[in-house]
A and B are shown apart, each in its own frame.
Chain A
Amino acid sequence: MPTITIDGEDYEVDGEQNLLATCLSLGINLPYFCWHPAMGSVGACRQCAVIEYKDTEDQHGKLVMGCMTPVKDGGLYSVIADAAREFRGGIIEDLMTNHPHDCPVCEEGGECHLQDMTEMTGHVQRRYRGSKRTHRNQYLGPFINHEMNRCIACYRCTRFYRDYAGGSDLESLGRNNQIYFGRQKDGMLENGFSGNLVEVCPTGVFTDKTFSQHYVRKWDLQTAPSICEHCAVGCNTAPGAREPGNGGRAILRRVTNLYHRDINGYFLCDRGRFGYDYVNSDHRLENVLAARGDRLIESTARSGEKIHRILPPADAVGRFAQTLAAAQLGRRRLIGIASPRSSLENNFALRQLVGGANFFCGLARRDLELLHLVDRVQRDPRIHSPTTPEIESADAVLILGEDIDNTAPRIALAVRQAARNRQKQRARDLKIPLWQDASVRQLDGNPSPVLLIGTGTPALEEIASEILHCTADQTASFATAVVGFLRRDEPEQTELPESLRELARRAAERLSAAQRPLIVSGCGNRSVDIVNGAAAVACALAECEQGDREQCDLYLACPEVNSLGIAQLFPPGGGQLEQLAGQLRAGDGDTPTTLVILENDLYRRCDRRTVDTLLAGADEVILLDTLLNTTARHADLVFPAAATAESEGSYINSSGIAQRFYAVYEGAGFIQESWRWLANAAAACEEYPGNDVLAGCQHVHELSAALAGKFPALGVLAGLGPDEHYRIDGLKVARQSHRYSGRTAIRARDHVAELPPHRDPDAPMVFSMEGIQNAARTTLQANIWSPGWNSNQSIQKFLQGVGGRRKGAQGSRRIERAAQPLEDWHPQNTKAAATFSAATDLVLVPLHRMFGSDELSARAAAIASVIDEPYAVISAGDAEQRQIQHGDLLQIRIDSEHYAVEARISATLPRGTVGVPAGLPGLESLDCHLPGPAAVERIHGGESP
């Protein structure tokens, strides 16, 4: 370990980092702009100048840029030397000559890196008297606001957008002092990670437009660590909320990234960043609703839909308790339907209430089996579910039939970094440090092999070394062939064309030659064969003699935030919706049935007919949910449930990491966590056994502990995240910053006397500023702030070195499932298209969209504005054969359902398949049929109604 001297102090450092990163890791404040911990150095801004001395005799030293200087053993440096400070002050003064007088009307104000650095260098008085350069702004879509005047030309935006995230439509245009960062034309930024520009930009050029619509300063946001609920990656987020001051409900104002080294690092995708707004939606349920007796006429509503009136919560809980009492006495059957988008604790509470035998998963057979398979695969000791840094260090990637750019976007971003590993290896050989970003990127040499097999991940195609567009069945056959080549015996499969066999042979060679191969697949295609195939490839690689590895990295993307969690609660083969529908249809006649549905829109899970039978077969339907959806319209009693940002609980992500999230604020109206409604009903019911954990449950941690006791795989939940008794110096952690303003005024319009802040009995946090504010002492603190560092760049103060883990106990742990080797997999070939009427039928396959496929984020206003109208993608060959043009109106017919969609032609989609965006608003109920055959035909003469 090299030892260096900075300003007379000796430090032992690792020597891997540059001088700037080393200083920051040591806690020394050194201003910078263009360097970014995830993107390395380019030395563009000259802000991090320090003095380097030749030896102890050297009195003057020379000025070097910290970010471009490798740390050398015995090096002598000075950060506070006058020459360095003057130089840095001069740089800031120059940068500020053109910076507009905008801070009061800039969304970045108060969390601006440029403000911080200006303060840090001590530049307080403007001397420049000339005129300021100005720029015209561009419209960049509904997410990002552009204010180009504020730019200091640090190039971070294009380096992130183009180099790191692979976007192409944001460029640096113009020249010399008039460089412009924007698009060639106005228009929405195309890359799915554009939201990170808000955090990457050190000033206010790119700001969050959705946040601006209900803007407050950073110091006025109440925050807590949370988990993004819009996919199964489990990115950590710091949502910020504040009450509106006009008597309305509290508003979730924005979501920002919350650093977690092993999952999201510094970046979030746009779905996660802008999808939060659904909680503020007009469709939000805030009151208990009960169905009225009168029925709607058929012309205005589908059959079975009910109209609701608001019911006082006490009455509703009383009614629920009566149902519960009847169930306890055996006069009523109580059935619970769980949800993969609700926390483990909520699901467990429902399980306690209805009993394991009456507990169903809320997923169709196909989906639940797939989740069980993923769980089963991850239990294999040869398979390792990689963390994001592990994915980034893979040097050969095989993506099997999963569009990770849309189903697990953050993972796709990591794979994009993995593609550069050959380049990085070459840099290492040439002794170029990896943080020398521009130098490393200039190196030629082949990119690392990334093989893309399946219906396509369009955004990743540019980094792929080999692309094969094929159907799910072909993907699985391809995997089998790769396994064959890896095992060195000739694949028995003969139906694969020679070209594909050759590709499989190359894939096998590349993967087995790699130091750290990575297989990526998932549930996106709903194909058991693909998951099995991916697992078989990973197992074969782990056993492969060439490497000395015992495990192979396999990332399997799950569909929803708690998909893997809910799979733990059901034994394989049980809990499917179809079983429940069958039971209800068979029904024993006399016993009335009540369905308790937890945060689940069944119409997205199963075909309409099954769900209609299900709901009609029950005498009473009780729903707990956040948004008014189709299932809610059919329910007799609807309880308003808390969204993720309003509740505490735990989720399990795709790689089996359990994470706890905490309530950022309290839901408005009568919103409360689902388990609380269930516990209220249990407590109000005299017949319900008092010794049950639910009846007396006060805190969510009691449920976590009970859950850990009941399911051995979930044992880690008992110790996950600090519970409500956790204190630092006798205090809880504050959700509000020490600068939180307006305490004595915000509610004064309605009542001038102030009430004490609401107590939070559940979390080791308070809904006020009166608590621990030190983010370095606990990961519970989501307000990332440090003296002199108001911007999100202050995160480095809370890490164990740049790019390290958060200081304090980690709130996430991998669940401990019993190891169980997979059996050898032999694909059962030819589940031939038996019910194919070749003339009209095509196979519908799911296409995943970053905006639209996810149920909740699609209800956020900004995201809803960019979701496409229903469409279907048809292969060019089929289109020609059927004389379908781009933009034609098509009709998809499945069973008795019809969907009108716009045709789009694709050159890459395999023939015989039609891509349908999964879960897109308007096509939600089609989702459960994917993949599957359907009749697709052109609607002629669309003019007549």
Chain B
Amino acid sequence: MLSLLRSMWLVFRHLFTRTATVQYPDQKPYLAPRYRGRIVLTRDPDGEERCVACNLCAVACPPDCISLQKTEDEDGRWRPAFFRINFSRCIMCGLCEDACPTYAIQLTPDFEMCEYDRQSMVYEKEDLLISGPGKYHEYSFYNVAGKAIDGKGKGEAENEAGPVDVKSLNL
């Protein structure tokens, strides 16, 4: 008897507490900028694709839902010929973002990606690529890498000395 009354009192008391339920989707919850949601591929400050197809995201991915193929363009840059994420397998763990050496792959605070057809959860590079640099505004991989590309020759990256002239005495 006593326990019954106590339970009823408890329920009664909750009538006057603040509600925890959010009226989603009419009401959107706050998600931090670094929330791990839908994955995007970003571009460097010059508008070029950041992804260099190094395959590190793919190998870091626990459910193996990232697949890509490296290709090398005329300008000397490595790019993915295709870049595919199977979001129906993705667990939004963010290990791909951690593994990415060029800040190309980033997770965004968007989680609303429901589909009626599972096939629509397969995103190709065109679906993933955004037009901006995402969370890292300044970084451009080829500015710090030693590989020469069009518009950046040997010795023109940050912290690089000019190329050695082998035929000089090099004293």
Contacts and interface: CB of A to CB of B under 8 A. Distances in A.
A105 interface: yes
B64 A743 contact: yes
Given A109-B54, A739-B59, A752-B122, A134 B89 contact: no
Contacts of A749: 82, 84, 122, 124
Contacts of A212: 72
A104 B118 CA distance: 32
B108 interface: no
B65 A744 contact: yes
A175 B167 CA distance: 10
Given A102-B146, A149-B154, A178-B170, A133 B58 contact: no
B54 to A, nearest CB: 4
Contact of B161 (A109, A132, A246, A745): A132
Nearest to A739: B59
Interface in B39-87: 52, 54-56, 58-59, 61, 63-70, 72, 78, 81-82, 84-86
Nearest to B153: A136
A91 interface: no
A149 B147 CA distance: 8
A752 B166 contact: no
Contacts of B155: 134
B151 interface: no
B56 A134 contact: no
Given A131-B159, A136-B163, A745 B65 contact: yes
A146 to B, nearest CB: 12
B160 interface: yes
Contacts of B32: none
Q: Which of B65, B146, B147, B155 has the most CB of A within 10 A?
A: B146
A103 B101 contact: yes
Which of A135, A178, A744, A751 has the most chain B CB atoms closer than 10 A to its own CB? A744
B8 interface: no
Nearest to A99: B146
Given A134-B161, A741-B59, A147 B147 contact: yes
Contacts of B148: 137
Nearest to A132: B160
B55 A220 contact: yes
Contacts of B147: 100, 102, 105-106, 147, 149
A135 B164 contact: yes
B54 A741 contact: no
A28 interface: no
Nearest to B161: A131
B59 A219 contact: yes
B86 A245 contact: no
Interface in B14-31: none
Given A101-B146, A741-B64, A744-B64, A176 B124 contact: no
Nearest to B88: A752
A681 B60 CA distance: 47
Interface in B129-163: 141, 144-148, 154-155, 159-163
B121 interface: yes
A182 B163 CA distance: 15
Contact of B84 (A137, A173, A216, A748): A748
Given A135-B164, A174-B164, A752-B119, A741 B55 contact: yes
Given A105-B78, A246-B82, A217 B119 contact: no
Interface residues of B, number: 48
Contacts of A752: 86, 88, 118-119, 121-122
B106 interface: no
Q: Which of A103, A134, A177, A219 has the most CB of B within 10 A?
A: A134
A104 B52 contact: yes
Given A246-B82, A749-B122, A215 B170 contact: no
A746 interface: yes
B154 A217 contact: no
B154 A742 contact: no
Contacts of A219: 59
Query: At the interface, is chain A mostly helix, strand, loop or mixed?
Result: loop
A745 to B, nearest CB: 4
A605 interface: no
A491 interface: no
Contact of A134 (B72, B118, B162, B166): B162
Contacts of A134: 146, 154-155, 160-164
A95 to B, nearest CB: 15
A217 B144 CA distance: 22
Nearest to A747: B67
A748 B159 CA distance: 42
A132 B159 contact: yes
Given A216-B69, A741-B55, A180 B124 contact: no
A459 to B, nearest CB: 27
B125 to A, nearest CB: 11
Contacts of A105: 52, 54, 78, 145, 147
A216 B159 contact: no
Count chain B CB atoms within 10 A of each CB in A103, A136, A214, A742 and give the residue with the most: A742
Given A100-B145, A104-B54, A245 B164 contact: no
Contacts of B119: 751-752
Given A134-B162, A178-B164, A180-B166, A748 B86 contact: yes
B92 to A, nearest CB: 15
A177 B89 CA distance: 50
B146 A245 contact: no
B46 to A, nearest CB: 17
Q: Which of A135, A177, A739 has the most CB of B within 10 A?
A: A135
B55 A245 contact: no
A104 B144 CA distance: 12
Nearest to B54: A104
Contacts of B89: 744-745
A104 B170 contact: no
A43 B52 CA distance: 37
A178 B166 contact: yes
Interface in A172-211: 173-178, 180, 182
A132 B101 contact: no
Contact of A741 (B61, B118, B144, B162): B61
Contacts of B162: 134
A51 to B, nearest CB: 35
A741 B67 contact: yes
B60 to A, nearest CB: 8
A150 to B, nearest CB: 7
A244 interface: yes
Contact of A149 (B52, B61, B82, B146): B146
Given A743-B64, A749-B124, A133 B59 contact: no
A103 B102 CA distance: 11
Nearest to A213: B72
Nearest to B122: A748
A119 B78 CA distance: 25
B153 to A, nearest CB: 9
A150 B154 CA distance: 12
B84 A174 contact: no
Interface of A: 100-106, 109-110, 129-137, 147, 149-150, 173-178, 180, 182, 212, 214-217, 219-220, 244-246, 739-746, 748-749, 751-753
6 contacts: A100-B146, A104-B56, A135-B154, A219-B59, A745-B85, A752-B121
Closest 6 CB pairs of A and B: A100-B146, A742-B67, A104-B54, A745-B67, A741-B58, A743-B64
Given A212-B72, A744-B64, A752-B121, 15 more contacts: A101-B145, A101-B146, A104-B145, A105-B147, A137-B154, A147-B147, A175-B169, A176-B170, A177-B170, A741-B66, A744-B63, A744-B86, A745-B86, A751-B119, A752-B118
